[in-house]
């Protein structure tokens, strides 16, 4: 069958990286199953079950060369994916086939693999998130002192700096990183809990020796790189784990959407924009367009991740007693695609943050169109110092400001508030004196210092600890 006559996920062709796609691949899953069967056999041998070194060596010799055709054929007969792979592994390892999956239930490989795969995926997300944070930190440092209009209610407000605004984006990603690391630290392997979580099959295997049963579980966890297993469970680990992990991914998506939407608005203001490649076409009909397509894609994929988190929420709430299977089909789609979409978002963020474009002259002109309104109190205080009456001047500025606003909004003219003030002798100020007051750098408060403090105290130590993640770049398919 060709690639053009069947559905292919856009995550594969357009969005997700090869690394994230491999993490959720069948190859990674089934190789992990075999690693878990080897870990189980080793642990059981250590605790005295009649398993030989030769059997374990045979299992290890075939841990990566999965005979898919045998497993597929067997699953058509038995309708059970785990047992079909137990059978296929046994075909390759005839001397060890009798000890594969000994005492385990399907969730031994299924759920433990899901935890291992989520950990791998979270490690990749962490690396890319740190890469984005490194680029934003660099940008914030570079533009820490450049004044810019701030916006409340999407209306011009007191000034900020371009760098200070970048720290708002950066801080939200920092919060996401803290949550991600918490989830990674909290992650525990299911272990070997048996069909209803009571380990009854292992009680049978080890003649009721609880110490040996616990040692088997501890050995498996260590072999798979974990220092803990869940303390109690039914057949599965609690599906709240999936919900908690996807909630963390939703947080990253929320931060990304906030960044993407801000950038789309700034592009409209012509203050900033995402990179635009030399041969890029902005619109099929309007050749002059420079549409913020990367940030639009960020927002689009973020919406998908944020909506996807409802899937594990329902799954967690509908798990009947010790096990039901209505989680399976939903879970294998919802969890994988949340990670694939988050990976795609981070790929685009890496690309955008590596080439953010700033237009200082536009930013300055937009400031100067609004600054006379914002500086009116400073102007009034200077006039009072020259002997003016505060109440009289306050009322005059109020009237002049409304008149100037009317010129801007109704006539499309420039803000002439300063000219009106300078023409009124009761202010006692000439144009040069007023111009001296209208210095944008004097209206940004502690913005520049806040950038320096935030980077020095919070972000730089974190990035120094994860220096290997900095410099990561992402190629976009389209």
Smallest Cα–Cα separation from 117: which of 196, 20, 202? 20
Question: Cα–Cα distance between 147 and 440 in angstroms, integer?
Answer: 6
Catalytic residue among 2, 4, 153, 284: 153
Could you give the C-alpha distances from 110 to 55, 64, 236, in angstroms and in order? 23, 17, 9
The distance of Cα 29 from the centroid of its chain, to the nearest Å, equals 23
The rounded distance, in Å, linking the Cα atoms of 9 and 343 is 14
**Among 9, 283, 365, 426, which one carries the catalytic annotation?**
283
CA torsion sign, 145 to 146 to 151 to 156? Answer: positive
φ, ψ of residue 359 in degrees (nearest 5): -115, 90
d(CA 427, CA 372): 15
Residues with Cβ within 8 Å of residue 385, at least 6 apart in sequence: none
Q: CA-CA distance, 400 to 338, in Å (whole number)?
A: 55
Angle (nearest 5°) at CA 163 between 159 and 167: 105
CA distance 378 to 446: 18
Question: Active-site residue 153, yes or no?
Answer: yes
Catalytic residue ranges: 153, 283
């Amino acid at each position: 069958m060709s690639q053009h006559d069947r559905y292919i996920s856009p995550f594969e062709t357009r969005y997700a990286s090869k690394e994230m796609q491999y993490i959720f691949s069948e190859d990674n899953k089934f190789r992990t199953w075999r690693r878990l069967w080897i870990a189980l056999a080793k642990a059981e041998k250590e605790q005295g079950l009649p398993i030989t070194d030769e059997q374990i060596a045979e299992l290890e010799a075939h841990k990566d060369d999965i005979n898919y055709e045998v497993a597929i054929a067997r699953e058509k007969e038995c309708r059970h994916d785990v047992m079909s792979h137990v059978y296929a592994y046994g075909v390759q390892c005839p001397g060890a086939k009798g000890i594969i999956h000994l005492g385990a239930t399907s969730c031994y490989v299924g759920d433990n693999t899901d935890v291992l795969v989520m950990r791998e995926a979270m490690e990749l997300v962490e690396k890319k998130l740190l890469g984005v944070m490194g680029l934003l930190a660099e940008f914030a440092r570079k533009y820490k002192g450049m004044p810019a209009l701030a916006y409340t209610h999407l209306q011009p407000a007191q000034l900020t700096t371009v760098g200070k605004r970048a720290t708002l984006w950066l801080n939200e990603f920092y919060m996401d990183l803290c949550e991600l690391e918490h989830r990674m630290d909290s992650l525990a392997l299911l272990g070997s809990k048996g069909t209803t979580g009571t380990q009854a099959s292992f009680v049978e295997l080890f003649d009721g020796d609880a110490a040996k049963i616990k040692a088997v579980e501890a050995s498996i966890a260590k072999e798979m790189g974990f220092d803990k297993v869940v303390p109690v469970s039914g057949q599965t680990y609690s599906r709240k784990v999936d919900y908690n992990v996807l909630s963390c991914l939703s947080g990253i998506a929320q931060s990304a959407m906030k960044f993407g939407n801000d950038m789309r608005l700034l592009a409209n203001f012509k203050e900033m924009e995402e990179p635009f490649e030399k041969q890029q076409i902005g619109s099929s009909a309007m050749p002059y367009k420079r549409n913020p397509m990367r940030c639009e894609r960020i927002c689009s994929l973020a919406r998908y991740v944020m909506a996807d988190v409802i899937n594990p929420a329902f799954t967690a709430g509908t798990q009947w007693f010790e096990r039901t299977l209505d989680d399976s089909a939903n879970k294998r789609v919802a969890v994988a695609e949340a990670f694939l979409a988050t990976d795609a978002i981070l790929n685009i963020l890496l690309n955008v943050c590596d080439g953010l474009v700033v237009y200082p002259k536009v930013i300055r002109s937009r400031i100067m169109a609004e600054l006379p309104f914002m500086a009116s109190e400073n102007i009034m205080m200077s006039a009072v110092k020259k002997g003016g009456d505060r109440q009289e001047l306050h009322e005059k500025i109020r009237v002049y400001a409304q008149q100037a606003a009317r010129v801007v909004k109704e006539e499309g003219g420039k803000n002439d508030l300063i000219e009106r003030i300078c023409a009124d002798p009761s202010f006692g100020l000439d144009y040069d004196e007023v111009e001296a007051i209208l210095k944008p750098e004097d209206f940004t408060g502690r913005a520049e210092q806040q950038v320096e403090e935030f980077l020095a105290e919070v972000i730089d130590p974190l990035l120094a600890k994860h220096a290997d993640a900095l410099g990561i770049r992402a190629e976009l398919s389209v």
